[in-house]
A and B are shown apart, each in its own frame.
Chain A
Amino acid sequence: MFVRQIDTMKAILIFIAGLMLASLLKGQVLVKGTVKDQKGRILAGANIIIKDSYDGTLSDSTGAFSFKTTEKGKVILVVSNIGYKTLEQGLDLGIDTLAIALYLKEEINELKAVIITAGSYEASDKKKGTVLKALDIATTAGANADISATIQTLPGAQKVGEQEGLFIRGGSAEEAKIIIDGTVVNNFFYSSVPGIAQRGRFSPFLFNGTVFSSGGYSALYGQALSSVLNLESLDIPEKSELQLGLSPLFASLGLQQVAANKKSSYGFSYNWTNLTVYQKLVPQAPDFFKVPDFHTADANYRFKTKKNGVFKIYAYYNSGSLGVRNPSLDSLGLWNAFQLNNQNLFTNLSFRQFLGNGWKLNLAGSISYNRDQIVSQVQNQQYQSVPKTQIPVIDQASFTNYATQWMFQLRAVAEKRFGSINTLRFGAELWNNQDSARFQSVLGLYPSLVKDRYTAGFAEADLYITNELAFRPGLRIEHSSLLNKVNIAPRAALSYKLSKNSQLSADYGIFYQTPERRYLINQSAVDFLRADHYILTYQHISSSYTFRAQAFYKDYVSLLKTSSGFPVVVNNNGYGYAKGIELFWRDRKTFKNFDYWISYSYLDTKRDYNNYPAFVQPGFAATHSGSVVLKKFWVKNMFGVNWSYNWSTGRPYYNPNRSAKEFLSDKTIAYSTNNFSLNWLPKIGKANAVVVLGINNVFNERQIFGYNYSSRVRDADGLLIRSEINPPASRSFFLGVFLSWGVDRTQQNINSNL
């Protein structure tokens, strides 16, 4: 009994001891210290945790932390902070307060690292620090939602009023290439009409990424002495949509259908542009005897594969015609009539797939076709073709040219990520070009056929040495079957981050381009054209402000030179240079809902190429040019007003009254234009509407892009007479209403649930 009592006592004692032990276990130890990075800078908000326990804390604004823990013995302390490598450190918890100093290593990551492609202008909604957003293209006054016209408000891109194309840093339009999803678009613009700049064919809303590089672009691309404009099409859209566009200029209808699981989508659209109504409202200077009339149809199909791959097919077809008549300068009373029929097909197929283990594959293919049928005729007062006059310059102005281009492209790029964000890219591409033409004039019939198979291999690496310093070496090897030549083009970019938002970059590269094939018919021993770029960039980018200053030197080592006689012989003896300074400032923050940018370019360039008799500033280059773009949006009324001002000093023009020594020594008057546009986004019935009104050259400023000279008619002073090259109308207008009926799930849900 007694023994039993003792046993019970023992048990009670053990019970109490157990309870005491439990509370002893709860005895707390204070852990305190500081968190800093390797450079000794304070890290606030770092997360400090004892692994597999509830205990821990965040570091405060001085980097200090302290917390109590009930854990005992050997534990692991985990310290993490966004942008730093997570630290795991063993800790022996006794009874005493522990004071520890923790140091985190910076992790090289995209959010913090220096940007390698600092020289380029990017329009995208994906990244934070982009210079332009996709929407900006649609709301730039004067651009009329044309991608290339918006790019002309950026430094380095020259506005040339009488000709379409991208004229970059003293380069001609042929020296820039435009790329959609990896494949080159040969006929990005509508076919040329003498004296009238044409629009780009593609709507900015097809693309979610636009990267415009004004020089020193990546080794992944080639065949452009000046620059590359890289357009990336949308993946699967967010929602199904029916779109209708109406304007005095055009009517369009489009449907985009997204599968319920959002894994695939298809769409098509049709657009009919006819300027009959517009030209009645806004008189045009030239006589459009055949009003511009274009039919465009496009279709797309996209689907997502497993592992986030995307497969896309896009097909575009356009058929158009126009005829324009101007008085002949060679014989008063006669007319020069120009008529164009064009058919254009562009198809692109692309496939992007993550292969795991940091590998990514991009495949692309494209077939494109373009046919221009040009009839140029000398006509009498009754607009009838005149018979042979025996005056060569007049007779030779009558000709027909039927030109057909086929292009077939294949491209594969593999990408491997290693380390944290280092990337290696390599791949190859193949272009098959075939151009045929039949040119007929009084001189006879000249059929021609020229084929070129272009192959290229390329590799480049993004190497982040630290978050502050990155290096991108690249190499491209190209071969052209037409030239039967090989070139090796090295590229390099070095970027150094000065502070959180600012950085310095230096770019270097050799760029080759096959001369235009129309010069290469029956020619031998011609080599690639070559330009070397040296670019220095300083930029400061935050989400509200962008400032960029660039200085560049471009050495045209080899340009095409054509002989003056007939038949024409070409060689590589052309040369030239371009150098300049460019400034860009954009501010989205200072004034609420008001956004503006200012750009300025200084360009000093000279060249001796084609049939130039001297080493001079080319006709497409202006020394000073600038733009101011303003945008104000009232969110409450969904109403925006945009203004733009573009200005450039006069460009040289050819005056045959001068001697060869004075070639291109005359300059036009300075170019200046103010443009206005407003956009209003009301809800009309169930449709989301966008109403756009634009007026270009609001103040009716006089614009002279150059002069056409007669070859034989002289004035009283014995000088060859001339006419100005002006825009077809001094002021131009745009009015459009775009309606879209989306499957508005918000609305659906409100209706079905209430």
Chain B
Amino acid sequence: MKKLLSLIALFSVLALNAQTKYESAMQNGFAKLKESKGADDLQALGAYYERIAEAEKTQWLPYYYAARHYTIAAFMNPAADKDKVASKVSELINKAETIEPANAEIYCLKQQVAVMQLLVDPMSRWQTFGAQASEAIAKAKEIDPSNPRPYLLEGQYLMNVPEAFGGGKAVAKKLFERSLELFSGFKPLSALHPNWGKEQAEQLLAACQ
């Protein structure tokens, strides 16, 4: 009885810690995201997820969130060196991809990185990075046709592309509508899996009206 109890005690302490450490750290990050105010906070949050990723090494989600937050931080900071951030983020994406190949969410990240690089010099980079962005979206849709985020990101990108090049509000509007349709039936795989974008789609759709 004594031995049993102490064993239970020991295991429950260890197990509790082991099971929840990763999950609670991830959840903790979600809480921090809600409190974050600017590019600096997002940069710090990116670094936070990168630490989790590098400690765990077998989870793709922390790499995903690290890449995502670094990217958004760079979008928000006009002084950020977008090419440098892109190479850093691409490294994280590659690591995520070796753990979790062929994931639509990762292709969504790839599109965002391509768009970020495109915006450095749209006139001359359009051919290369514009193509990369559309390709990443096409791949994401192919892998997971029920995922609403590829449509959201594609709409967001095409909204700013001149109509002469196949963009414009009318095209984007259809995509946001499609995205929202998919959001209504979308269930993330777990509490830790990506589940963002619905509000953004609603706001962007409103902007297209």
Within 8 Å CB of B188, what residues of A? Answer: none
The size bracket of the interface on A is 35 or more
Does A610 belong to the interface (CB within 8 Å)? no
Closest beta carbon of chain B to A243's beta carbon, Å: 14
A135 to B122, CA, bound (A): 12
A238 to B133, CA, bound (A): 12
**Interface 1/0 per residue, B35-74 and A, CB below 8 Å:** 0000000011001101110110000000000000000000
A275 to B158, CA, bound (A): 42
Q: Considering the complex, give the chain B residue whose CB is closest to the CB of A18.
A: B9
Q: Please pick, from A8, A55, A683, A688, the residue contacting B163 in the complex, using a CB distance under 8 A.
A: A683
A543 to B122, CA, bound (A): 13
Question: Which of A281-289, A358-366, A632-640 forms part of the interface with chain B?
Answer: A632-640
Is the Cβ of A753 less than 8 Å from the Cβ of B178?
yes
Closest beta carbon of chain A to B30's beta carbon, Å: 15
Q: Please pick, from A7, A10, A135, A238, the residue contacting B123 in the complex, using a CB distance under 8 A.
A: A135
A754 to B175, CA, bound (A): 8
Is the Cβ of B54 less than 8 Å from the Cβ of A49?
yes
A49 to B51, CA, bound (A): 7
**Interface 1/0 per residue, B2-16 and A, CB below 8 Å:** 100110111001000
Within 8 Å CB of A754, what residues of B? Answer: 174-175, 178
A14 to B9, CA, bound (A): 8
Within 8 Å CB of A55, what residues of B? Answer: 51
Does B164 belong to the interface (CB within 8 Å)? yes
Is the Cβ of A54 less than 8 Å from the Cβ of B52?
yes
Does B207 belong to the interface (CB within 8 Å)? no
Q: Considering the complex, give the chain A residue whose CB is closest to the CB of B26.
A: A54
Closest beta carbon of chain B to A597's beta carbon, Å: 15
Is the Cβ of B44 less than 8 Å from the Cβ of A58?
yes
The size bracket of the interface on B is 35 or more
Q: Please pick, from B8, B47, B123, B175, the residue contacting A47 in the complex, using a CB distance under 8 A.
A: B47
Within 8 Å CB of A391, what residues of B? Answer: none
Question: Which of A490-498, A600-608, A718-726, A740-748 forms part of the interface with chain B?
Answer: A740-748
Interface of chain A, main secondary structure: mixed
Q: Considering the complex, give the chain A residue whose CB is closest to the CB of B158.
A: A746
**Interface 1/0 per residue, A100-134 and B, CB below 8 Å:** 00000000000100000000000001001000011
Does A171 belong to the interface (CB within 8 Å)? no
Closest beta carbon of chain A to B46's beta carbon, Å: 9
Is the Cβ of A744 less than 8 Å from the Cβ of B55?
no
A282 to B127, CA, bound (A): 36
A747 to B134, CA, bound (A): 9
A274 to B50, CA, bound (A): 62
Q: Considering the complex, give the chain B residue whose CB is closest to the CB of A13.
A: B6
Given known pairs A49-B54, A682-B164, the reply for A125 and B141 (CB within 8 Å) is: no
Is the Cβ of A633 less than 8 Å from the Cβ of B171?
no
Within 8 Å CB of B5, what residues of A? Answer: 8, 11-12, 14-15
> Which residues 1-24 of A have a CB within 8 angstroms of B?
4, 7-8, 10-12, 14-15, 18-19, 21-22
Is the Cβ of A133 less than 8 Å from the Cβ of B124?
yes
Does B97 belong to the interface (CB within 8 Å)? no
Does B135 belong to the interface (CB within 8 Å)? yes
**Interface 1/0 per residue, B110-150 and A, CB below 8 Å:** 00000000001111110110010011011001000100000
Closest beta carbon of chain B to A328's beta carbon, Å: 50
A94 to B10, CA, bound (A): 24
Q: Considering the complex, give the chain B residue whose CB is closest to the CB of A682.
A: B164
Is the Cβ of B124 less than 8 Å from the Cβ of A681?
no
Is the Cβ of B84 less than 8 Å from the Cβ of A82?
yes
Is the Cβ of B162 less than 8 Å from the Cβ of A746?
no
> Which residues 34-64 of A have a CB within 8 angstroms of B?
45, 47, 49, 51-58
Does B32 belong to the interface (CB within 8 Å)? no
Does A750 belong to the interface (CB within 8 Å)? yes
Within 8 Å CB of A58, what residues of B? Answer: 43-44, 47
Given known pairs A54-B51, A125-B128, A754-B174, the reply for A11 and B162 (CB within 8 Å) is: no
Q: Please pick, from A57, A134, A744, A749, the residue contacting B47 in the complex, using a CB distance under 8 A.
A: A57
Does B25 belong to the interface (CB within 8 Å)? yes
Is the Cβ of B134 less than 8 Å from the Cβ of A52?
no
Does A417 belong to the interface (CB within 8 Å)? no
Closest beta carbon of chain B to A588's beta carbon, Å: 9
Does B193 belong to the interface (CB within 8 Å)? no
Within 8 Å CB of B8, what residues of A? Answer: 15
Given known pairs A19-B13, A54-B51, A744-B166, the reply for A238 and B128 (CB within 8 Å) is: yes
Listed A/B pairs (28) with beta-carbon separation below 8 Å: A7-B2, A8-B1, A11-B5, A11-B6, A11-B9, A14-B6, A15-B5, A18-B6, A52-B54, A53-B51, A53-B55, A54-B55, A56-B51, A58-B44, A125-B125, A133-B121, A134-B124, A238-B127, A635-B162, A636-B162, A683-B165, A688-B164, A747-B166, A750-B171, A750-B175, A753-B141, A753-B178, A754-B174
Pairs of residues from A and B, 6 with the lowest C-beta to C-beta distance, nearest first: A15-B9, A11-B5, A238-B131, A683-B164, A11-B2, A22-B13
Query: Given known contacts A54-B55, A239-B131, A753-B178, what 11 new A-B pairs fall within 8 Å (CB)?
Result: A8-B2, A11-B2, A11-B9, A19-B9, A51-B55, A57-B47, A125-B128, A135-B124, A638-B164, A746-B134, A746-B158
Residues in B lying within 8 Å of A, measured CB to CB: 1-2, 5-6, 8-10, 13, 17, 21, 25, 43-44, 47-48, 50-52, 54-55, 83-84, 88, 120-125, 127-128, 131, 134-135, 137-138, 141, 145, 151, 154, 158, 162-166, 171, 174-175, 178
